[in-house]
């Protein structure tokens, strides 16, 4: 039996963490023994019941260098003797790579979901040239960005694996937001999802709604460290009565089924998981031109693209969908995601990268 150790010691549950859960599930179901390393007290319950998946909780993730964290990681890896070690978060690359090499693990895969500057060239050189780690990215645009640093990266050590999504059932039930928030039946429900962060652009929602008819409402699913700050600012605006916060939801299939359209208003992203999810449910999408969104939307064929921070354009795009001036066929959106970004492709490409097999 192959063994994989996935490091994700995070205090925030977002798209990267969801993808670790997804990879743990499909690897376990395919017969791989999976160990997921999490911070003690954070998210272990979300991995309960997964086949062949065990959680290891650690007290600290360390920083630039922490001898106690390295010693702990080395002990874990020497005991488990995995075929591959995977680090989902850039903050953990250095200590996980060092620990894996000290423990004698040959295959080190590090995930990057969003463009980052190279701040520590010595560390990058050690990680990618001395330790021979492989960088997994989630879009072609991000891969091209990283190949601009030839001292660390080349065609052989940067691999693109699209985030995959299973095609949801058409018959699945949906959340009834009109009943939930006592809204008129003619209300238009615009969905947003993601952790609360300035990068996600949720602070723009009141200004967007101010340019739209009164019957347009926004529902948001997610949580995060900036939640109180961002929600407090939004609540100062009169448009806040048309913005409804749901918090963390396990039933995201029902969330997307209940939407009329979806808005990604981010200022920066990698390959936004929420766009995949919306399209896989056949929900029309308006998205800023963040990295990966143009690939996901087929450069405008499968959704409306607008410039980052362009509130007028976001409002106009939403209005055009409401009025029917732009239309996207639900079955075409679902088929596009299934063919280009489906689970089968993600599973196949992840297995090839981790174990040299499909």
- 3-class DSSP assignment, residue 215: coil
Domain spanning 177-340: CATH superfamily = Glycogen Phosphorylase B; (3.40.50.2000)
Least confident of 10-19, 83-92, 114-123, 199-208: 114-123
Is the pLDDT at 22 greater than 80? The verdict is: yes
In whole angstroms, give the CA distance from residue 14 to residue 248: 10
Strand partners for 160: 137
Average pLDDT in the chain: 94
Contact status, residue 2 vs residue 355, Cβ threshold 8 Å? yes
CATH of domain 3-164+342-355: 3.40.50.2000
Least confident of 60-64, 164-168, 318-322: 164-168
* Average pLDDT of the residues in 114-141: 91
Q: At what angle do helices 67-80 and 93-102 cross, to 10 degrees?
A: 50
Query: String of b and e for 158-193 (b: at least 16 CB within 10 Å)?
Result: bbbbbbbbeebeeeeeebebeeeeebeeebbbbbbb
Query: String of b and e for 222-250 (b: at least 16 CB within 10 Å)?
Result: bbbebbeebbeebeeeebbebbbbbeeee
In whole angstroms, give the CA distance from residue 308 to residue 314: 9
Six-digit token string for 19: 């993808």
How many other CB atoms are found less than 10 A from the CB of residue 54? Answer: 13
Is the pLDDT at 358 greater than 70? The verdict is: no
| Segments making up each domain of the chain, as ranges | 3-164+342-355, 177-340
pLDDT tens for 153-202 read 999 999 999 988 777 766 678 999 999 999 999 999 999 999 999 999 99
- In this chain, the answer to whether the domains covering 3-164+342-355 and 177-340 adopt an identical fold is yes
At residue 192, the pLDDT reads: 98
In whole angstroms, give the CA distance from residue 159 to residue 161: 6
The label of the residue with tokens 């060092």 reads 98
Strand partners for 137: 112, 160
At residue 65, the pLDDT reads: 79
Contact status, residue 34 vs residue 7, Cβ threshold 8 Å? no
- Between the alpha carbon of residue 69 and those of residues 95, 109, 315, 322, the distances in Å are 8, 19, 48, 53
* Average pLDDT of the residues in 270-292: 91
Supply the pTM of this predicted model.
0.78
Is the pLDDT at 271 greater than 90? The verdict is: no
In whole angstroms, give the CA distance from residue 97 to residue 284: 41
């Amino acid at each position: 039996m192959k063994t994989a150790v996935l490091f994700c010691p995070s205090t925030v549950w977002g798209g990267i963490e969801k993808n670790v859960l997804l990879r743990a599930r499909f690897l376990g179901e395919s017969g791989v023994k999976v160990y997921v390393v999490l911070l003690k007290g954070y998210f272990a319950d979300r991995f309960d019941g997964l086949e062949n998946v065990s959680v290891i909780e650690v007290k600290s993730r360390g920083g630039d260098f922490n001898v106690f964290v390295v010693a702990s990681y080395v002990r874990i890896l020497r005991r488990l003797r995995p075929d591959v070690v995977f680090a989902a978060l850039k903050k953990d690359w250095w200590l996980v790579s060092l620990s894996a090499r000290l423990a004698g693990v040959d295959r080190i895969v590090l995930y990057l979901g969003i463009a980052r500057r190279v701040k520590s060239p010595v560390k990058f050189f050690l990680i990618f040239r001395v330790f021979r780690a492989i960088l997994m990215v989630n879009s072609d645009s991000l891969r091209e960005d990283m190949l601009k640093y030839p001292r660390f990266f080349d065609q052989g050590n940067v691999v693109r694996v699209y985030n995959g999504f299973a095609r949801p059932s058409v018959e699945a039930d949906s959340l009834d937001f009109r009943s939930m928030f006592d809204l008129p039946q003619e209300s238009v429900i615009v969905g947003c999802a993601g952790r609360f962060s300035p990068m996600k652009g949720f602070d723009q929602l009141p200004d967007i709604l101010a340019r739209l008819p009164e019957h347009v409402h926004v529902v948001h699913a997610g949580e995060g460290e900036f939640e109180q700050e961002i929600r407090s600012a939004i609540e100062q605006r009169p448009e806040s009565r048309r913005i409804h916060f749901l918090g963390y939801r396990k039933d995201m299939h029902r969330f997307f089924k209940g939407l009329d359209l979806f808005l990604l208003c981010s200022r920066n992203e990698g390959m936004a998981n929420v766009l995949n999810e919306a399209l896989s449910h056949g929900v029309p999408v308006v998205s800023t031109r963040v990295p990966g969104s143009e690939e996901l939307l087929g450069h405008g064929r499968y959704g409306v693209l607008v410039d980052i921070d362009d509130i007028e354009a976001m409002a106009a795009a939403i209005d055009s969908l409401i009025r029917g001036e732009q239309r996207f066929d639900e079955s075409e959106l679902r088929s596009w995601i299934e063919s280009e970004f489906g689970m089968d492709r993600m599973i196949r490409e992840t297995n090839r990268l981790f174990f040299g097999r499909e």
